[in-house]
């Protein structure tokens, strides 16, 4: 025997007006969801359009030989490398050769300055740390300025936040499609 509630529910669903109400509520939900999604897309598009394309971007990057906003006996470094680290002076070294102050030990034969070992002439590098070291070369300043001026609208907020040459190279090598991240095996 079928419970009385189930019979009443089936009869109620067979009524055309009930089906009309269900359809109407579904239609209202669909329309409001679509408009909310459109509003979000417009808001996101407006955030990305920070400036017009014709206006040059005023970058805050400072290129200098010292290159650091820190004390001279301290170094910032690329931090994330499992085997290799690049410090803000442009030296690349094995993680085990990193000094307590964050700088690479320049007295170790394997430490290199402005090394582009995994980089092709077109700027494509296979190892992040080599990309950063290569990018820090003073001779690359002109190329970096051109890169900044051609940065995609979506990345303008990121690149406008960098304060100096080192931060720019970290951001460029982390976000550029020219860097193919490979893990070095030993």
The SS3 of residue 164 is strand
Q: What is the pLDDT of residue 156?
A: 65
Whether 181 contacts 125, CB under 8 Å: no
Q: What is the pLDDT of residue 46?
A: 59
Q: What is the pLDDT of residues 83-103, one digit of tens each?
A: 999 999 999 999 999 999 999
Q: Any idea of the CA torsion for 93, 94, 99, 103, to the nearest 10 degrees? A: 30
Q: What is the pLDDT of residues 148-182, one digit of tens each?
A: 777 655 566 666 677 788 888 888 888 765 554 44
The SS3 of residue 9 is helix
65 or 151, greater pLDDT:
151
Beta strand pairing call for 84-86 and 112-113: unpaired
50 or 101, greater pLDDT:
101
Enclosing H/E stretch for 85: strand 84-86
Mean pLDDT (the chain) is 76
Comparing CA positions, the residue from 91, 123, 131, 89 lying closest to residue 108 is 91
User: Has residue 137 got a pLDDT over 60?
Assistant: yes
Enclosing H/E stretch for 40: helix 16-48
Find the angle CA(51)-CA(56)-CA(62) to the nearest 5 degrees.
110
Give percent above pLDDT 70 in the chain.
Answer: 70
């Amino acid at each position: 025997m079928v419970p009385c509630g189930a019979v009443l529910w089936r009869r109620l669903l067979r009524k055309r007006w009930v089906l009309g109400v269900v359809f109407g509520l579904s239609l209202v939900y669909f329309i409001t969801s679509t408009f909310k999604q459109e509003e979000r897309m417009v808001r996101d598009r407006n955030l990305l359009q920070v400036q017009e394309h014709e206006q040059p971007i005023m970058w805050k990057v400072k290129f200098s030989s010292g290159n650091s906003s820190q004390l001279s006996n301290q170094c910032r470094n690329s931090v994330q490398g499992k085997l290799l680290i690049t410090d803000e002076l442009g030296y690349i070294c094995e993680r085990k050769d990193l000094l307590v102050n964050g700088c690479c030990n320049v007295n170790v034969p394997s430490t290199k300055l402005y090394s582009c070992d995994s980089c092709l002439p077109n700027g494509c590098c296979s190892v992040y740390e080599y990309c950063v070291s290569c990018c820090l070369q003073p001779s690359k300043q002109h190329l970096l300025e051109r890169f900044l001026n051609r940065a995609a609208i979506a990345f303008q907020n990121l690149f406008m936040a960098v304060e100096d040459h080192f931060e720019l190279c970290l951001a460029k090598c982390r976000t550029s499609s020219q860097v193919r991240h490979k893990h070095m095996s030993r």
